[in-house]
Amino acid sequence: MLTEKQKQTNINIREKANLIWEIATHLYGEYKPHEYGRVILPMTVIKRFDDSLKKTKQQVLDTVKMLDERKVEGVAREAILKKASGYDFYNTSKLDFQKLIADSENISANFTAYLQSYSDNVKDIIARFEFDKEISKMTENDLLFTIISEFNSKKADMSPEVMTSQDMGYIFEELIRKFSESYDEQAGAHFTSRDIIYLMTELLVAPEKDEIKARGCNKTAYDMTMGTSQMLACLEEKLQEINPDSHLMSFGQEFNPETYAIAKSDMLIKGRNADNMKFGDTLSNDQFKDTTFDYIISNPPFGIDWKKEKDAVEKEAKFGFDGRFGPGLPSISDGQLLFMLNGVKKLKKNGRMAIIQNGSSLFNGDAGSGPSEIRRYLIEEDMVDAIIQLPNDLFYNTGIVTYIWIIVGKNAKPLNRIGKIQLICASDCYDKRRKNIGSKRVDLDEKRIQLILKAYCEFKNENYSIQNLDNAFVESKIFDNQEFGYIRINIETAETDNEGNELLKKGNKIPMRGRNDSVIIPLNDNVEEYFINNVKKYNRHAFMDRSKDKIGYEIPFSKIFYKFIEPRKSIDVLSDFKKNTIIEQQLIKSLLED
């Protein structure tokens, strides 16, 4: 249940997001609805900066005058101005939103000069939006003054005292969703819903929760596809909730310029190191080479090809385990396992990663293939801690089956988990939404998140449920690592003479053309015994060519948790059919009599 404070916060967030959306409608005619974000997102960021700097505006102007008189330039000037503003950014213009609308005739020139007076880190953010184009367009169509005036209303106050960084994250998500829906675009490509993130953060900190509660912590976290950086924000929120004396230094990379700009602006407002937010394609332009982290949390794209990054990825793969892709490369049509490997490379030895994948990461690829070799590496290095199947229809942009993988560093597993993998099926653990948002038809409420967490923490072969609550069932199963491995053995049939004697060449059996096959033998089984009992028994001339052995790994999640439902008996089906036929006949007779 939400507290009254949380309810009021949600109301304020909705009101603010709706207000900003209403401002966007002034663009109608010159902009199509799906283009509103080109103006509204950067304007929201800029207004957030402006409101944040209000309290120290005069102090900054006085400092500028002093620095000019003393001719202080360079790094020293930068540091002094940041100290005066109280943030890691500043604006040296005498103008603000209030003064801008006081001079409507020069609004365009004044606004441009105002933006140019920001510190370089803010100018970089504005440049990522390519906002200069929109300023020109709005000026030409007499829209700029109207939009700035609307953002200057009392209801549009976005100062930190009114809207927390967390609230702003929600507002940006809501705006992006609205803009995406107006274009029938996949909003979930930009962010992950909070209920999923909260489950991921709980799973990440679970083993250390008591220690953090008692002593606090100093941790680092990384999101390789950070979007607006809300996963990192939620992880920090979780640590602070456990113990206010917890500190998280966040790092992230994002290739979408708009969401990157939002993430960087959020870090500036928080007073954190915005330089930790990097722009670029994670697969082809790694901004955190040779850096490792305590926590990694990410929802990388799945089902998306990596053709654009192909040359860079294959070049790095040649370095083997000195690079990120030593274990192998997945199919060019789906790059999600590349992100998995990127995370593994950046995980501290005692670190933990929560990463979302679809089903193909569990089973695609035969023994010896890239995906199988990646699974083999993760499992044989004992880095797979748990895999949790989420309910369908949980994401904004897809209804398919998805999984949270908990990957750990090589020193991170407690004794009882060493050499084992926990599979948790939470497909029947959800709260139905009253109103769908895109493909999202269900939520994970607090009770169900805690149910999944309980299954994870207890680490048992057990079923979990909540009494008198529908769709609140979780099943946990524990396996030895080797149970997911197998050997593909090449089977040949020896050529024979007319009397059935096997022919030899240099002491070796001669394989018969067209009679080769293969069998899959579980890694835990005795190969010779399996061959004798399952192959030789039916083909006395069969023999194994062990030089062609291939070891593979797959995790048949659906098979493991399959529940057989006995089909209805024919007599019951026939009985129902007869009943329905009688009802239909009675209805027809009644209609005819009327």
Quick: pLDDT tens for 450-472: 999 999 999 999 999 999 999 99
pLDDT at 311 over 60: yes
pLDDT score of 189 = 52
pLDDT at 1 over 50: no
Once rounded to an integer, what is the mean pLDDT over residues 381-398?
93
Task: Decide: 460 and 476 in contact? Cβ < 8 Å.
Answer: yes
pLDDT at 188 over 70: no
**What is the pLDDT confidence band of residue 9, given thresholds at 50, 70 and 90?**
low
Q: What is the pLDDT of residues 50-79, one digit of tens each?
A: 999 999 999 999 999 999 999 999 999 999
Task: Decide: 385 and 446 in contact? Cβ < 8 Å.
Answer: no
* Between 573 and 235, the higher pLDDT residue: 235
CA 405 to chain centre: 11
What's the half-sphere exposure (Cβ side, CA atoms, 13 Å) at 590? 6
Tell me the Cα Rg of the chain.
30
* DSSP 8-state symbol, 91: B
pLDDT score of 15 = 76
Task: Decide: 347 and 296 in contact? Cβ < 8 Å.
Answer: yes
For residues 519 and 521, give the distance between their C-alpha atoms in angstroms, rounded to a whole number.
6
Once rounded to an integer, what is the mean pLDDT over residues 208-226?
97
Sign of CA dihedral 458, 463, 467, 471: positive
CA 158 to chain centre: 27
Tokens found for residue 195: 């209920």
Q: What CATH topology corresponds to 189-420+431-445? A: Rossmann fold (3.40.50)
Instruction: Report the length, in residues, of the chain.
Output: 594
pLDDT score of 182 = 55
Q: What is the pLDDT of residues 361-378, one digit of tens each?
A: 999 999 999 999 999 999
**What is the pLDDT confidence band of residue 137, given thresholds at 50, 70 and 90?**
very high
Q: In percent, how much of the chain has pLDDT > 70?
A: 94
Residue 487: closest CA among 376, 579, 571, 570: 376
Q: What is the pLDDT of residues 541-569, one digit of tens each?
A: 999 999 999 999 999 999 999 987 777 67
pLDDT at 11 over 80: no
Backbone angles phi, psi at 264, to 5 degrees: -65, -40
pLDDT score of 312 = 98
What's the half-sphere exposure (Cβ side, CA atoms, 13 Å) at 417? 24
**What is the pLDDT confidence band of residue 320, given thresholds at 50, 70 and 90?**
very high
Q: Which residues are CB-neighbours of 559 under 8 A, at least 6 positions away? A: none
For residues 225 and 414, give the distance between their C-alpha atoms in angstroms, rounded to a whole number.
29
Buried b / exposed e over 445-461, threshold 16 CB at 10 Å, is beebbebbbebbeebee
pLDDT at 187 over 50: no
Once rounded to an integer, what is the mean pLDDT over residues 399-426?
95
Backbone torsion region of residue 121, taken as left when φ is above 0, otherwise alpha when ψ lies between -120 and 50, otherwise beta: alpha
For residue 87, CA distances in Å to 4, 125, 221, 589 come to 32, 16, 22, 81
pLDDT at 431 over 90: yes
Buried b / exposed e over 86-103, threshold 16 CB at 10 Å, is ebbbbbbbebbbeebbee
pLDDT at 42 over 70: yes
Residue whose structure tokens are 């809300």: 230
pLDDT at 207 over 80: yes
In this structure, the strands spanning 485-493 and 542-553 are antiparallel
**What is the pLDDT confidence band of residue 239, given thresholds at 50, 70 and 90?**
very high
As a whole number of Å, the end-to-end CA separation of the chain is: 54
Once rounded to an integer, what is the mean pLDDT over residues 175-204?
74
pLDDT score of 155 = 83
Helix spans in 411-494 (H):
446-458
Minimum mean pLDDT range among 115-129, 183-197, 340-354, 387-401 = 183-197
- Please provide the average confidence, as pLDDT, over all residues in the chain: 91
Once rounded to an integer, what is the mean pLDDT over residues 495-511?
91
* DSSP 8-state symbol, 433: E
Backbone angles phi, psi at 16, to 5 degrees: -65, -45
pLDDT score of 410 = 87
For residue 32, CA distances in Å to 24, 41, 179, 183, 421 come to 10, 15, 10, 9, 50
pLDDT at 27 over 70: yes
pLDDT score of 579 = 73
pLDDT score of 186 = 46
For residues 269 and 271, give the distance between their C-alpha atoms in angstroms, rounded to a whole number.
5
Q: In percent, how much of the chain has pLDDT > 90?
A: 76
For residues 176 and 45, give the distance between their C-alpha atoms in angstroms, rounded to a whole number.
13
| Number of neighbouring beta carbons within 10 Å of residue 43 | 22
Residue whose structure tokens are 């890239």: 370
Task: Decide: 178 and 40 in contact? Cβ < 8 Å.
Answer: no
